[in-house]
Each structure stands twice: as structure tokens, then as C-alpha cells.
Amino acid sequence: MTTTPEQPLSPASEPVVDAEEARLRVGSPADHAAGLKAVTVSMARALRQMGPVKTARNLLTLNQVDGFDCMSCAWPDPQGHRHTAEFCENGAKAVSWEGARETIGPDFFAAHSISDLAGRTDHWLEKQGRLTHPMVRRAGSDHYEPISWDDAFAVIGSHLNDLTSPDQAVFYTSGRASNEAAFVYQLLARAYGTNNLPDCSNMCHESTGVGLASTIGIGKGSVSLEDLHLADLIVVSGQNPGTNHPRMLTALEIAKRNGARILAINPLPEAGLLRFDNPQKPRGLAGHGTPLADKLLRIRSNGDLALWQAIAQLLLAADDSAPGVVDRAFVEAYTSGFDLWKEHIRELDRDAVLRATGLPWAEIEEAAAMLTSSERIVHCWAMGITQHHNAVATIREFVNVALLQGMIGKPGAGLCPVRGHSNVQGDRSMGIWEKPPAVFLDRLRDEFGFEPPRHHGYDAVDTVRALRDGKAKVFIGLGGNFVAAMSDTSVTAAAMRNATLTVQISTKLNRSHIDAGRTALILPTLGRTERDLTGGIEQRVTVEDSMSAVHASRGRSQPAGPLLRSEVDIVCGIASAALRTGPQIPWPDFSADYDAIRERIGRVVPGCDGYAEKVRTGGFTMPHGPRDSRTFPTPSGRAVFTVSPLEVLTVPPGRLVLQTLRSHDQFNTTIYGLDDRYRGIRSGRRVLFISAEDLAELGFADGDHVDLTSEWADGVTRRADRFRLVTYPTPKGCVAAYYPETNPLVPLDSQAAESGTPTSKWVVVRLSPATTS
Ligand SMILES: Nc1nc2c(c(=O)[nH]1)N[C@H]1C(S)=C(S)[C@@H](COP(=O)(O)OP(=O)(O)OC[C@H]3O[C@@H](n4cnc5c(=O)[nH]c(N)nc54)[C@H](O)[C@@H]3O)O[C@H]1N2
Ligand SMILES: Nc1nc2c(c(=O)[nH]1)N[C@H]1C(S)=C(S)[C@@H](COP(=O)(O)OP(=O)(O)OC[C@H]3O[C@@H](n4cnc5c(=O)[nH]c(N)nc54)[C@H](O)[C@@H]3O)O[C@H]1N2
Ligand SMILES: [Mo]
């Protein structure tokens, strides 16, 4: 055993200001996304970070058949024709970031103590370059030092074998891991004896999974890319596609050309919802582009449940006067609970709707009219919906309205949760889930001949609680940056420092390597863009996109260093070292040829029969009963209308609701740069977007600096200091600032009902004049 009881030396993450932030500049928000600027930004950055050869090799194979899958989001690739440049500005940034020429190895860690690194910003940490060596921080030391792979695996094996219960270990996954890595990783956790498999989904689309599984019987979206092209109405709720899913704008543009209308629902007038200059078209390079949203409802934060109940009421009323709005044949043949729900909706309190949404009734009527006059409707949503207290109820209301109009399982219509991480949906399919379905565990048992644990494991929030309370002692992270991504940063950081061992399988340095366990390992891994020659053959991996299409991905670049190992190889190495007794699983065979893993996936994962062969011959789409044949795998075999009481959240006087969101120059906790071009921000991230009315009412002025304090039932004071106020068209009472800087303000216990997702889009704050300069 290598642990000692000493406390680690690294202090908690302190908000530190980037040197460049002193030059913060504020301009006007943009009214359109992409265009020539996007091309120049992505090429300049690619050339600077990767050099010309790697730039050409990487960008030309990005999202191409037999190339690699972009890691910047889960938006699908077109089935037929692909552009030579089948990527967006932010995809190019993600590739350039991974392909960085700078590397950090033992010399870097000898020169920088952990205390030193703790004082650096997240932006600085990741900018140092790719990790190249396995490193260990031994208990009591303030430095990482090199360690061999075998020794690193032995350290993990000895810690795991010293635990008194397998449930004292936690296996976290970030949604970038391939299906092969995810499959062997969940197998490792379950063969070891635990379902403690939290993932980034717990902070992301968990509410979607819960909302959809409980209503249509499957927690995934029901559309293909083609459906978006064919729709005559696309609703985009709580999503900023111009920044986070730029290739979705191409689908919206095609839909518009085919005659579709777009209804956007967002507190902010995001540039990507307003107008799109397609950078792949000559017209887009110079012209003014395509107007996108036909209507933008500038809703108050958390008003969506009320809005959709109101729209439902208007649809029912419209059907009363002119039958046909309700698809009676569909409702009768495929659903249950309609009458009860209808009664509930008829009694809706309009005043409550007006308070919750902040919208005039006439605007809600206009939106409802767009639905009544459409035959093929796609409902899209993302974090502006899922990260709220009532997220699951809101998603069930989307489902109710879609069922009412018969919009599931027909061309051009359906439910389209837009996923975040490029393989987060695939990871779930492969069994990365703290609440695995019994059928999955049965098949795992039959295939591998051991009885997997049946009781549920910890999700992301429960993981923090368990580490904090000493119930969990070992944390292994397959990618990601748990400390910075999770809510309540100081609680999460302290919980991680409380672990006896943390292991981070990473490409770049981040906060989770600093706020780490007493013994801490950094295991450097290959990224998506890199050639994987594990076992002496050219390996490929597979991924599943937001629309359930599964395909192969193969990197071509020279790895950042000779010691890097693939995620699959690392997981199999840990498993071989840790599982000396128990089920006989041929780990070395899995890393020698990933086809051996794919054979097992084909036999274990429902819907993946013949997996290895199917992905070899171009990929396939996972089955989806509601989409394919209006078959609803719920207990009753019918889709369910759900009644959700309308509760309007209020805030005490003088308080505001903060939503924490992404700038145009970051990927989650990875900060590429300090600009947010579309919102008019240059060289700075500590800004608070606030309405002119709130500024006047609170007695502050644009340009003032404030400290933020969040308020929560537990009475604990949570602070994030020194944000510059920026007047912005956000509804009164609703403010916005970037994540992860604002995660210290999100209380650990502030979670969405049923899904447990941190409520990153609803944090009650008060402002006070900044105490530091
Ligand atoms: N370039 C880039 N791409 C990414 C990511 C990235 O960080 N950078 N992250 C990836 C990941 S993991 C994810 S999950 C996705 C995230 O993609 P998004 O969900 O687009 O990300 P956010 O920046 O959180 O934006 C939330 C949007 O919801 C709106 N919103 C907030 N509250 C409400 C509300 O109460 N109601 C409504 N209707 N709207 C609201 C906000 O104004 C904002 O436009 O993107 C993925 N793609
Ligand atoms: N306040 C607030 N908090 C949020 C959110 C929010 O909107 N507001 N959004 C939430 C959401 S939607 C999500 S998905 C989570 C994201 O949570 P995570 O997925 O945990 O975080 P990321 O920032 O995506 O992880 C970045 C790190 O991943 C590692 N990495 C990058 N590529 C690879 C790779 O190919 N392999 C491996 N092994 N590692 C790699 C790098 O070391 C990098 O530092 O954050 C959540 N947290
Ligand atoms: Mo996400």
C-alpha cells in the first residue's frame, strides 16, 4: 500500500485572473454565425498550433468516411455527399487543440510543483501542451514524478485490492471515450464488483434520458438528419447551435430552403439562431447568409414548462374549434393517459404562465399557431432545458405535445435532444451507466460468466458526496475534468483531495490533476486524431452520434509522444493488474485487436448484433422502436402522456437567476481562448451579462466589477469574485456568465428532480461591489 494519512499539499482551486484578462474589451453582439471569419479563425489557429502538414492531414480526414469522427460535438455526418471540409470552426479548434506541438513531460513537472500549478488558470494549464509520460504524485509530495506504465498499473491494482468493498471505487467517464474503450471500462468496473460508473451525462442530458425513457420507452432522440431536412417546423429550445453545434446550422439552412420555419426559444438572442453564413459555400463567404429563426421567444429562465403547457392548451383549444390539430388516430392507437393530461392542461393558470415565461400571451399564441399550421415538427433541445430543477417535467411536456400531434415515427418529425460530447450517447449504449438495465447485466453475465452487481451505483453528484464522506476512496477518470466540470467546486475539489487514489486518463493538464487524491496518477492517452498502433496493427474505434448512427473512426496523425497508450490499452492494463482473481476475461486479447471487443459488444449490447461486421462495412443506425415502427418499449407498450404540476420558481427581492453557459472559445472546461466573438467579448471571461433594467434597479453601471454570492437552503456562502458587468439583451432578472468559472456558485444539492443533474442554468445570486481590484 502506498498511501499515508497526510493531507495533500495542493490548496483548493482559487479563482485566478488570466494575465490577458486585463485587456478585456466589450463590443456589440453579432447578429449572425459563421461566415468568412469562421474560416480564417479556424485556419489561422490550426496552422499556428499544428503546423501545415498536420493541419492538412487532420482537417482533410475530419468527419470523412474512413477518417476520424470530430470530437467537438455529437452532431451526425451527412449520409451521402460530404464536403472536402466537413467541419466547423469549433471542430477545427478541437482538432488543433489536440494536435498541439507543445508537449509536457517530466521536466515540466520537475519545474512546476503542484502548489505552483494550483495558482494557474484552467486556460494556462491546458495551453502547456500534450501530456507525454505517465506521472505519479506520491502521498505527501508536492511534485509529480515519472512512473513506468507497469508500476502505475500496479499502484492502481494494489489500491483497488486494498478496498473493503468494490463500491469504494468510482469509475468516471467523459463522453469522448470510444465505444470499445467504454465497453472494456464498464466490464472492468463490473467484474471488479461495482456499478459506480458516473459520467458527464449525469451533468448534461441525464434529464433527457429520464424524460424520454419514462414516456416513449427509450432515452434517445427519434430523428435522423434527413428528418430535419424534411421538417416544416423546427423548434430549438435552450440551445446555442452557432457555438456548440455549428454543423446543425447547415441542417437548419437546408430545412429552410425546403420551406421549413424555425421557432427558437432562448433568453438570449444567440447569433447562431438569428442568421447563418454557410462558410462552405461561396455565397456564405461574402453574402449575408440565411435568416434562421422565424420567431425567437425571449423566455425567462426556467419558463419552458409553463410555455409548453400553455402551447398545449392553445393546441387543444384550436382542435376544439377546428378538429385536426390533435392526431386522434395516433393518440388512440399508441398512447395512454391522454384524458387525464388534457384535463390538467385545460385548468392551466395563465397568470402563472405569464410570470414564469415573462412573455406576452400574444407571443405564445403566435408560437402555438406555428405548431397548429405544421405537419412535420422536430423538437430540438440542449442544456437550457436539461440543467433545471424541472428539466424532466419540461422534457415530458415536449413529449406530450409531440404525442398530441402524432410527431413520432413519421418522416420529418420527432424528438431531437442534441447531445454534447461526441460519444456520450455511445458510452451509455455500451453500459456506462450507474443504473444499468437488468437485460444488459443478464447479457453481460451470460457472455462473461460472472454475476455483475445489481444495485445501482453513484452518479456524479453522489460520487462527490461519497468521496467527501469517505465512503469512496479511489476515483478513476476515463477522460474529462471532473473537478472543474462538477458543481460546487470547493466541495468537489476537497472531496477529490480526500481520495486515497485518483487516476486521470488524460490528454492535457487540467484542474483534476491538481485537486487530486493523496496518491495521484496521470496516464497520458492517444486522442481521436492520432494513429493507434496498439498490438502492432492499425486499430480503429467506433462511436455513436446524437441520432444513433454508429460508425468507425481512425486517426492518422503521429502521436504526441512514443509512450502514449490508447484508452483501450490503458483500461485493459488496469484490469490485468487489478483483477487477478475472479472472472476470467481475456484482457490482452482485447487490446491486441479491438475486433475482439466488437465481437463481445455484438453479443452483449442490445441492438448491436453483428456489430464488428456492420461497422467494418460502413456502420449502421441503432434500432429505435418509436422512430422505426411506432413501437413503444414502455411497460404498457404505449407512449405515456404525463401530468406535471406547474410550479413557478421565484427569487427573493434583489436577487437574480444566473445561468452558466459556454463561450464561443471553449470546449467545456477546456478554454481555447478568451474571446466570445458572437457575444462581443474579447480577451476576458469574467463577465456577467445583465439587462439594463437590472443594472438600473440594483444601482450598478456597465463596466462595474461585482462579486457574486449564491444563495441556497443550506445557508452556506458560495462566492465567485470579480465579474465585469456587461449590459446585454437578457430578460430582466436573468443573468448569464461562463462555466466553469461559475461552478463554485452551484450548490451540490441543487439538482434536477429525478435525473439529479446539477441545475447549472438556475443559480440564485446576489451582486455586491467587487472587494478586490
Ligand atoms: N464549441 C463547443 N461545442 C460544444 C461544447 C463546447 O463547450 N464548445 N460542449 C458540448 C457539450 S458537452 C454540450 S452538452 C453541448 C452544449 O450545448 P448548449 O446546450 O448549446 O450549451 P450552453 O452554452 O450551455 O447553452 C445553453 C443555451 O440555453 C439557453 N438557456 C439557458 N437557460 C434557458 C432556459 O431556461 N430556457 C431556454 N429555452 N433556454 C435557456 C442559453 O441562453 C444558451 O443559449 O455542446 C457540445 N458542443
Ligand atoms: N456550471 C456548469 N457546469 C457544467 C456544464 C454547464 O453548462 N454549466 N455543463 C456540463 C456538461 S454538459 C458536461 S458534458 C460536463 C463536461 O465534463 P467533462 O467531460 O468531465 O469535461 P471536459 O471539459 O469535456 O474534459 C476536458 C478534459 O478531457 C481530457 N481529454 C480530452 N480529449 C480526451 C481524449 O480523447 N481522451 C481522454 N482520455 N481524455 C481527453 C483532457 O485532459 C481535458 O482536460 O460539464 C458539465 N458542467
Ligand atoms: Mo455535455
Q: Count the Cβ atoms, other than its own, within 10 Å of residue 348.
A: 16
pLDDT of residue 83: 75
- From the CB of 93, is ligand 1 less than 6 Å away? no
- Residue 736 CA: nearest ligand 1 atom is 42
- From the CB of 72, is ligand 2 less than 6 Å away? no
Ranges in the chain annotated CATH 2.40.40.20: 20-30+653-769
- Residue 11 Cα to ligand 1 middle (Å): 31
Ranges in the chain annotated CATH 3.40.228.10: 206-418
Tell me which CATH code domain 20-30+653-769 carries: 2.40.40.20
- Residue 510 CA: nearest ligand 2 atom is 44
- Residue 202 Cα to ligand 3 middle (Å): 9
- CA 594 to chain CA centroid, Å, is 26
Q: By C-alpha distance, which of 264, 354, 254, 366 is closest to 306?
A: 354
- Residue 177 CA: nearest ligand 2 atom is 36
CA–CA gap between residue 40 and residue 629 (Å, rounded): 45
Pick the CATH number of 206-418 from 3.40.50.720, 3.40.50.1970, 3.50.50.60, 3.40.228.10: 3.40.228.10
Nearest ligand, CA of residue 131? Answer: 2
- From the CB of 174, is ligand 2 less than 6 Å away? yes
pLDDT tens-digit readout, 486-499: 999 999 999 999 99
Q: By C-alpha distance, which of 552, 539, 543, 593 is closest to 429?
A: 543
pLDDT of residue 610: 97
Length of the chain: 773
- Residue 486 CA: nearest ligand 2 atom is 47
Cβ neighbours of residue 116 closer than 8 Å, sequence gap 6 or more: none
- From the CB of 382, is ligand 2 less than 6 Å away? no
What are the CA-CA distances from residue 559 to residues 134, 530, 591, 719 (Å)? 15, 5, 18, 41
- Residue 485 Cα to ligand 2 middle (Å): 6
Cell of 399: 413529449
CA–CA gap between residue 613 and residue 611 (Å, rounded): 6
Q: Whose CA is nearest to atom 4 of ligand 2?
A: 485
- Residue 297 CA: nearest ligand 1 atom is 38
- From the CB of 298, is ligand 1 less than 6 Å away? no
724-727, long-range: CB < 8 A, 24+ apart = 724/24, 724/26, 724/684, 724/686, 724/687, 724/688, 725/687, 725/688, 725/690, 725/695, 725/700, 725/701, 726/26, 726/681, 726/687, 726/688, 726/689, 726/690, 726/702, 727/690, 727/691, 727/692, 727/695, 727/702
- Residue 94 CA: nearest ligand 1 atom is 1
pLDDT of residue 443: 98
For 273, half-sphere exposure in the C-beta direction (CA atoms, 13 angstrom radius) is 26
- From the CB of 731, is ligand 1 less than 6 Å away? no
Cβ neighbours of residue 507 closer than 8 Å, sequence gap 6 or more: 98, 130, 131, 479, 524, 525, 527, 560
- From the CB of 670, is ligand 1 less than 6 Å away? no
CA–CA gap between residue 741 and residue 686 (Å, rounded): 8
What are the CA-CA distances from residue 24 to residues 84, 608, 661, 685, 725 (Å)? 36, 50, 19, 8, 12
Task: Point out the residues of the chain with pLDDT beneath 70.
Answer: 1-22, 282-288
Please choose from 204, 236, 247, 761 the residue to mutate so as to test ligand 1's pocket, defined by most ligand atoms within 8 A of CB: 761
pLDDT of residue 17: 55
Cβ neighbours of residue 113 closer than 8 Å, sequence gap 6 or more: 142, 143
- From the CB of 665, is ligand 1 less than 6 Å away? no
- From the CB of 680, is ligand 2 less than 6 Å away? no
CATH T-level assignment (fold) for domain 131-193+447-525+565-612: Rossmann fold (3.40.50)
CA–CA gap between residue 573 and residue 206 (Å, rounded): 30
CA–CA gap between residue 61 and residue 556 (Å, rounded): 8
Please choose from 490, 509, 525, 668 the residue to mutate so as to test ligand 2's pocket, defined by most ligand atoms within 8 A of CB: 668
- From the CB of 266, is ligand 1 less than 6 Å away? yes
Running DSSP on this structure, what letter comes out for residue 558?
A: P
Q: For the chain, how far is it from start to end, CA to CA, in angstroms? A: 47
Nearest ligand, CA of residue 649? Answer: 1
Please choose from 266, 545, 685, 743 the residue to mutate so as to test ligand 1's pocket, defined by most ligand atoms within 8 A of CB: 266
- Residue 306 Cα to ligand 2 middle (Å): 31
- Residue 239 Cα to ligand 1 middle (Å): 5
CA–CA gap between residue 622 and residue 301 (Å, rounded): 34
Q: Regarding beta strands 549-553 and 763-769, do their DSSP bridges make them parallel or antiparallel, or are they unpaired?
A: unpaired
Ranges in the chain annotated CATH 3.40.50.740: 131-193+447-525+565-612
Nearest ligand, CA of residue 760? Answer: 2
- CA 446 to chain CA centroid, Å, is 32
- Residue 383 CA: nearest ligand 1 atom is 19
Q: Count the Cβ atoms, other than its own, within 10 Å of residue 547.
A: 27
- From the CB of 670, is ligand 2 less than 6 Å away? yes
- From the CB of 202, is ligand 1 less than 6 Å away? no
- From the CB of 565, is ligand 2 less than 6 Å away? no
Q: Annotate 455-502 with DSSP letters as a single string.
A: S----HHHHHHHHHTTS--EEEEESS-HHHHSSSHHHHHHHHHTSSEE
Burial-class residue 241 by CB neighbours within 10 Å (0-12, 13-18, 19+): buried
Cβ neighbours of residue 708 closer than 8 Å, sequence gap 6 or more: 658, 688, 719, 720, 721, 723, 737, 742, 745, 765, 766, 767
- From the CB of 504, is ligand 2 less than 6 Å away? no
- From the CB of 512, is ligand 2 less than 6 Å away? no
- From the CB of 73, is ligand 1 less than 6 Å away? yes
Q: Hunting for cell 453483428 — which residue is that?
A: 610
Nearest ligand, CA of residue 122? Answer: 2
Bridge partner list, 690: 727
- Cα torsion 655, 659, 662, 663 to 10°: value is -40
pLDDT of residue 286: 44
Q: Count the Cβ atoms, other than its own, within 10 Å of residue 261.
A: 19
Cell of 675: 474571446
- From the CB of 167, is ligand 1 less than 6 Å away? no
- Region of 760 (left: φ > 0; alpha: ψ -120 to 50; beta: rest) is alpha
- Residue 39 Cα to ligand 3 middle (Å): 25
Nearest ligand, CA of residue 74? Answer: 1
Longest dimension (CA), the chain: 76
Cell of 696: 438600473
Q: By C-alpha distance, which of 670, 677, 679 is closest to 40?
A: 677
